[in-house]
Amino acid sequence: MVMQHLPTVVVIGNGMVGYKFCEKLLAKTSAFNLVVFGEEPRVAYDRVHLSEYFGGKTADDLLMAPLQWYHEHGITLHLGDAVQEIDRAHQTVHSRSGLVQPYDYLVLATGSSAFVPDIPGVEKEGVMVYRTIEDLEEIKACAATARSGAVLGGGLLGLEAAKALLDLGVPQTHVVEFAPRLMPRQIDAAGSQMLQTKLEALGLQIHLSKATSSIAGEGKIEALHFGDGSILEVDMLVISAGIRPRDELAKLAGLEVGMRGGIVVNDEMQTTDPRIFAIGECALHSGMIYGLVAPGYDMAEVVASQLTQGARAFTGYDMSSKLKLIGVDVASFGDPFIAEPHSRAIVFEDTHNGVYKRINISPDGKYLLGGVLIGDAEAYNMLLQTVNNKIVLPPHPEDLILGARGGEANEGAGVMSLPEEALVCSCEAVTKGAICAAVTELNVTSVDGMKKCNKAGTGCGGCVPMIKDLINGTLTAQGAYIKNVLCEHFDYSRQELFDLLKINDIRTYDAALDHFGKGDGCETCKPAIGSILSGLWNDLIVKQNTIQDTNDRYLANIQKGGSYSVVPRIAGGEVTPEQLMVIGRVAHKYGLYTKITGGQRIDMFGAHVSDLPDIWEELINAGFESGHAYGKSLRTVKSCVGSTWCRFGLHDSVSLAIEIENRYKGIRSPHKLKSGVSGCVRECAEAQAKDFGIIATEKGWNLYVCGNGGSKPQHAQLLATDVDKETLIKYLDRFLMFYIKTADPLMRTATWLNKMDGGLAYLKNVVLNDSLGICADLEAEMALLIQNYHCEWKEVVENPELRKQFTHFVNAPKVKDPTIEFEPVRGQKVVKAW
């Protein structure tokens, strides 16, 4: 190949943007000779996902493209060789190793470096920055022995670094911020406050309004000294105080740079020398440095277009961003700060769950201008789209952050209503239209496929949930059936398998795998099929114990350290003094820690696996049975005392709770089921927080379904009003069986309902009006499950073969696991910390 006569483009910097420029230029033309100089020892990698390096990703996983890619595309790549001088008169660049490379066009993509403030002591060992893979390796090495570490800077990057220190197991992690609040440049004060509370709950210690005056220590950092005289002892410090554009080369070459750094460029990304461009974090456009990848990629596109006679120009960029801290959502979009009279704010604050949301709308209420989300940023993509596409707001814009309230309205139609030209992936400039077209015309049906097809979602990754929704939405619109397959071994959804196993009368996991699966199964499909088989036949679960999760295998809940807990059934929470004494005696004899559970029963912790059968033998002899606390099955039906004792009670809630608990006990379901019965609207049994809850009314009972406590609480919704007991139980049979048959594995009733097309109205139609014509079947199937109930522990206790499996060592059944250690607390024992 003769390349000599082609004009030469030299790129300085092989970072994210420099790489992207090569990719974009090559996509347009091969009429250039491309030469790249990179200072770092490796080819360009994904800095945005740098923290995943701590989470087990290797340097290779992070590469933008492998070395081979550069060869295949005829790029001359000089790695570990920084350019030291640009000779504009001769149009050459000079590298550290002595290369002299002529250019026709020069692209500066030198990025930025971490800004290190001039604090006495910054040179000490243990003071680091967070920018390159090498930095990360240093941090990791330091963290291995550090007892306490600090991050200087409470901005986006600083918090990410702090989370990394926590994940690396540094026992004490501090964040030191000069400003009086966290992330002052992205979120408002109330948001900062909420974020701080959440981060403190994760274990971060936050110090605000702190000016660091010096870093103390003998050669190695030992403490930070602050202006107010206070001292913080730390073994390591990561500085994350902002970035400094790398404009030193440009300055040396006499190109104009900004007062506070950055290479000045025009809308075409040209520097003051028209043959020289600057892109990415080193470029200063209209007084702005863009510290994000998406605008950098856009700049790369502009230059690639300029070099190929295109006319794209850079016109500024939106600085919306979402923080990638696991466990704490933080996002800001559009203009988060704009205030009266230019906008009006709608604020939602829930200090109980740590959620803060603010949206700024135009004074006429028509448009969304920006906002802040803390604690729950699920709506981020949609809100960003609403701002960017100037979508006219609905009459109740508060719905955008609160969700539509008032029952049966539909959610989620959202993404499909965006205009075709809405930019979904801003890093790669992919529009909604392009994504939907890939689905309809190229049959792309997965996010991975989409990434291959048009690179959508390969940049910062923030748009991936939206891509997923668009793919599913388009498929649904096409009438295509989207299924959630179980795992790599079964190409069917749980619901499909439920029907298949039923029709084919399959009763074992192996048979299911032979008929409908491939490979040898795994920890996902085994318990899922186990649950289906139980939902179909309610056979004894211990017969196929190796396909069960450990709790179901040992019929007890595994606890920290490997001991188990024991929970006998106390239906409705009613227990006699005699039974209490039995529990007390057994717990005392086997040295168990006892506690009242949230479901009105008694949990005994700390049992060795080999003691389980003996413990249960004593409990069963005293009339107890398994409480199925270990199963994905009905846990408890909580009750208030109701009309038997309470002066407000309308009906006997305890008797109903006991009847219901005994009716459905032991039945396996996709996930655990909790229930409650209250004797009047005062709702002392918290029935509306349960999978199914019942509340007495003057005329009968109200039935609520699909409520949920847990990490995302959701109120149960009213399914039937003022029904008598027989009708109530009939509806319950249908409802539960419908859930057991159609939910995905490990899907609670609340999520099941949220995902159900048509929502509560549909469910009501199925259960109350028999709209699918399946109610008779559902009732019959439930009757079979109820009839096949057995107390699993009774079977084990009476069967020597089964009992034998409850040992820690097969070859030394009498020996207990010596690694289980307890320590005393308040007169009982608890397990030693992890």
Partner 1 sequence: METTVDVEWLPVCKTTDIPADGGACALVEGEQVAIFNFARRGEWYATQNLCPHKQQMALARGMIGSTGEACEPKVACPFHKRTFSLLTGECLNGDECSIQTYPIKVEDGVVYIGWA
375 binds ligand FAD (CB under 6 A): no
Separation of alpha carbons 834 and 825, rounded Å: 16
First to last CA, the chain: 63
Q: Please identify, using beta-carbon distances, which residue of 516 and 605 lies nearer to ligand SF4.
A: 605
Q: Does 39 bind ligand FAD (CB under 6 A)?
A: yes
Using CA atoms, how far apart are residues 44 and 32, in angstroms rounded to an integer? 20
| 291 or 527: CB nearest partner 1 | 527
Tell me the residue nearest to ligand SF4 as measured from the CB: 679
The interface region with ligand FAD, picked from 34-42, 446-454, 614-622, 789-797 by CB under 6 A, is 34-42
* Rounded least distance, CB 652 to partner 1, Å: 41
Identify residue 215 by its one-letter amino acid code.
I
What is residue 535's DSSP assignment?
H
Taking the least distance from each CB to ligand SF4, the nearer of 132 and 678 is 678
289, 292, 332, 374, 776 from 184: Cα distances, Å: 17, 17, 11, 14, 61
Interface positions with partner 1 (CB under 8 A): 55-57, 488-489, 510, 519-523, 525-527, 545-547, 549-550, 553-554, 558, 560-562, 805, 807-812, 815, 817, 819-820, 834
Q: Classify the C-alpha dihedral 131-134-137-138 as positive or negative.
A: negative
H or E segment at 26? helix 16-28
285 binds ligand FAD (CB under 6 A): no
Residue 682 interacts, among ligand SF4, partner 1, ligand FAD, none and using kind-specific CB cut-offs from 5 to 8 Å, with ligand SF4
Residue 68 binding target from partner 1, ligand FAD, ligand SF4, none, CB below 5 to 8 Å by type: none
Regarding 607 and contact with ligand FAD (CB under 6 A), the answer is no
Q: Are 509 and 547 in contact (CB under 8 A)?
A: yes
CB of 607 to ligand SF4, least distance (A): 17
- The stretches of 168-253 forming alpha helices (DSSP H) are 189-202, 248-252
Q: Which does 74 bind (CB under 5 to 8 A by kind): ligand SF4, ligand FAD, partner 1, none?
A: none
Q: Cis peptide before 341, with omega less than 30 degrees from 0?
A: yes
Q: In whole angstroms, what is the distance from residue 573 CA to residue 571 CA?
A: 5
Tokens of 574: 């009613």
Binding at 672: pick from ligand FAD, partner 1, ligand SF4, none (beta carbon under 5-8 Å per type): none
Identify residues 151-190 at the interface with ligand FAD (CB under 6 A).
157, 160
Q: Which does 37 bind (CB under 5 to 8 A by kind): ligand SF4, ligand FAD, partner 1, none?
A: ligand FAD
Nearer to partner 1, 24 or 489 (CB): 489
Given ligand SF4, partner 1, ligand FAD, none, residue 221, with its beta carbon under 5 to 8 Å by kind, binds none
Q: Positive or negative, the Cα torsion across 119, 122, 126, 129?
A: positive
294 binds, among ligand FAD, ligand SF4, partner 1, none (CB under 5 to 8 A by kind): ligand FAD
- CA nearest 304: which of 669, 92, 26, 541? 26
- The site partner of 545 among ligand SF4, ligand FAD, partner 1, none (C-beta below 5 to 8 Å per kind) is partner 1
The residue behind tokens 């109820």 is: 786
Q: Does 48 engage in binding with ligand FAD (CB under 6 A)?
A: yes
DSSP characters for 56-96? T--HHHHBSS-HHHHHHTT-EEETT--EEEEETTTTEEEET
Instruction: Specify the residue for token string 């994210």.
Output: 16
**CA 621, 625, 628: angle at the middle one, nearest 5?**
150
Decide: 180 and 204 in contact? Cβ < 8 Å.
Answer: no
Helices (H), ranges, 290-419: 293-307, 380-388, 399-402
Helix (H, G, I), strand (E, B) or coil at 425: strand
**Interface with ligand SF4 (CB under 6 A):** 640-642, 646, 648-649, 653, 678-680, 682-684
Query: Which of 57, 73, 124, 131 touches ligand FAD by CB under 6 A?
Result: 131
Q: How far apart are CA 115 and CA 711, in angstroms?
A: 39
Using the minimum distance from each CB to ligand SF4, give the nearer residue, 641 or 760: 641
Asked if 719 and 705 touch (Cβ cutoff 8 Å), the reply is yes
Nearer residue to partner 1 within complex by CB, 769 or 811:
811
Q: Site mask, ligand FAD, residues 451-470, x = CB under 6 A? A: ---------x----------
Q: Does 750 bind ligand FAD (CB under 6 A)?
A: no
Closest CB to ligand FAD among residues 12, 106 = 12
Question: Smallest distance, Å, CB 639 to ligand SF4?
Answer: 8
Residue 558: contacted member of partner 1, ligand SF4, ligand FAD, none (CB under 5 to 8 Å, by partner type): partner 1
Among 10, 12, 307, 629, binds ligand FAD (CB under 6 A): 12
CB of 463 to ligand FAD, least distance (A): 12
Q: Using the rule CB under 6 A, is 797 a contact of ligand FAD?
A: no
Complex with ligand FAD: residue 167 or 222, whichever CB lies closer: 167
Q: What residues from 482 to 521 belong to the interface with ligand FAD (CB under 6 A)?
A: none
Q: Does 781 bind ligand FAD (CB under 6 A)?
A: no
Residues 56-85 that bind ligand FAD (CB under 6 A): 82-83
- Rule CB under 6 A: is residue 733 a binding residue for ligand FAD? no
CA torsion through residues 60, 61, 64, 69, sign: positive
Question: Between residues 487 and 500, which has the closer beta carbon with respect to partner 1?
Answer: 487
Token pair of 229, please? Answer: 């005289």
Nearer to partner 1 (CB atom), residue 45 or residue 70: 45
How many CB atoms lie under 10 A from the CB of residue 56?
7
Using H for helix, E for strand and C for coil, what is the string for 193-215? HHHHHHHHHHCEEEECCCCEEEE
Site for ligand FAD in 334-363 (CB under 6 A): none
Cα distance between residue 453 and residue 92, in whole Å: 38
Number of residues that bind ligand FAD (CB under 6 A): 35
> Site map for ligand FAD, 299-338, x if CB under 6 A?
-------------------------x--------------
For ligand FAD, the binding residue among 16, 119, 182, 429 (CB under 6 A) is 16
Q: Which stretch binds ligand FAD (CB under 6 A): 182-190, 287-295, 344-352, 662-670?
A: 287-295
- Please state the closest distance from residue 775 (CB atom) to partner 1, in A: 36
- Closest CB to ligand FAD among residues 21, 793: 21
Strands 76-78 and 822-825: unpaired
280 binds, among ligand FAD, partner 1, ligand SF4, none (CB under 5 to 8 A by kind): ligand FAD
Phi, psi (degrees; rounded to nearest 5) at 112:
-145, 170
Look-up: residue for tokens 């609905």? 394
253 binds ligand FAD (CB under 6 A): no
Q: Does 729 bind ligand FAD (CB under 6 A)?
A: no
Q: Which of 13, 530, 613, 666 binds ligand FAD (CB under 6 A)?
A: 13
CA trace torsion 738, 742, 746, 750 (10° rounding): -60
826 phi, psi to nearest 5 deg: 40, 50
* 297, 314 Cβ separation under 8 angstroms: no
Count CA atoms closer than 13 A to 628's CA, side-chain side. Answer: 26
Pairing of the two strands 692-697 and 700-705: antiparallel
CB 562, min distance to partner 1, A: 5
CA gap 530, 527 in Å, rounded: 5
Residue 249 as a binder of ligand FAD (CB under 6 A): the answer is yes
Q: What is the CA radius of gyration of the chain?
A: 32
Point out which residues pair with 703 in neighbouring strands: 694, 720
* Residues binding ligand FAD (CB under 6 A): 12-18, 37-40, 47-48, 50, 82-83, 109-112, 130-131, 157, 160, 246, 249, 280-281, 291-294, 296, 324, 460
